[in-house]
Amino acid sequence: MNLTQQGLALIRRFEGFRACAYRDAAGIWTIGFGHTSAAGAPHVRPGMKISRKEGLQILARDVASFALGVERLLDVELSDSQFSALVSFAYNVGLGNFRKSSVLGAVNARDFAAVPRRLSLWVKCRGCVLPGLVNRRAAEAAMFLSEVQPRANQPMRPAREPIEPLLGKPMRKSSTGIAAMLSGAAGLASSFSASLGELTHVASTPVFPILAGLIILAAVFWIIRERHLKALEDGV
């Protein structure tokens, strides 16, 4: 597996060249084609300047190191285009983030069709979506899929899947709907308890408030559980 010229060009295009040291969107000192001190020599310091030729030499060393790091983390053999897309992604987010990403998980599971969606999760910096990252992930996804062939026993998907009507999920599968029903039940229990107290002119029995509280707690825990499972499914 080798980094292609197209892959190198993609990295150069999205990183851009800066002759003077600057802080990137994450506040890290950067120079040249996205070089940081974490990638190795030279150490980037404020006021540092390099020529474009020096930047290209630094980039060549950096991508060679990242390509080696990506290759060591792969459990499958990929085409050069697939490999190049992953090197570009790792060069941008760092090998540490690449190692724990669901992008690598999908690749090693041979779930290549899921890779574009996994890549699209990595478009934020400090909680904000950056258009440059959106465009880069789209380019990396296109490069990754450029040589992907459908499995022999798997029918090819249509070029464009039909848009499903916005009907919503069935109530039994909707965490919000279930929580609403539980909360409604809690409200009915509380109302019934209050009404009972008024009719009998005595303090209402504590059974119903306790039951209402338990129902509300069940609703809260249900929502937390559903959100946790969703986060695991769409992990980054």
The catalytic residues are 15
Peptide bond into 42 cis (omega under 30): yes
Give the angle subtended at the CA of 103 by the CAs of 150 and 130, to the nearest 5°: 115
Burial class (CB in 10 A: 0-12, 13-18, 19+), 169: exposed
